[in-house]
Structure 1
Amino acid sequence: MTSSTTNRRVLPSSPFQPVAPEPVEQFSVNDLLTHDRHGVGRVIGLGTHNKVHVDFGAGIQTITLPNAKVTRL
């Protein structure tokens, strides 16, 4: 027997309410961002599946979002 949390009823008074995922931050070409490891970079392209291509000066990196190390400037 398998159980699925998607079919379970949640009572309004329950302290265990389902948590909605945080929305993925959207970037545009030429947006500036900072990365904890790579430093400041500029978005040069948008990929599929929440990926952005960023030029950090020393090289181009592809970053998958959401990423806790990325902050928009």
Structure 2
Amino acid sequence: MKPRKAAARRPLPGSPFNVPEVPPPPLPHFVVQDKVSHDKYGLGHVVGVEEDIAVLVDFGTEIHRIIAPYPRLFKL
């Protein structure tokens, strides 16, 4: 005997779970020699860019690779 297949659920028109997916905001665009500020490391300048992946930032005492989406990195 075969088990019954579950019926596909139809979305309810008033459900709060039927919201369309919002696309993420665009990533900020950095170029070499941009002056930046980071919440943890302070002021620095961009020394390398990996498009949509990461940026290399020289903060004076050390260089850090900041991964996208750059939540705490701001262009000055």
TM-score (norm 1): 0.72
Which contiguous aligned blocks of 4+ residues in structure 1 show a shift greater than 4 angstroms? Answer: none
Aligned residues: 61
Unmatched 5+ stretches in structure 1: 1-10
* TM superposition shift of 1:49: 4.8
1 or 2, which has the higher helix percentage? 1
Aligned residues of 1:36 and 1:70 also touching (Cα < 8 A) = yes
TM-score (norm 2): 0.70
Residue in 1 that maps onto 2:75: 72
**CA RMSD in angstroms, aligned pairs only:** 1.9
Residue in 1 that maps onto 2:32: 29
Greater C-alpha Rg: 2
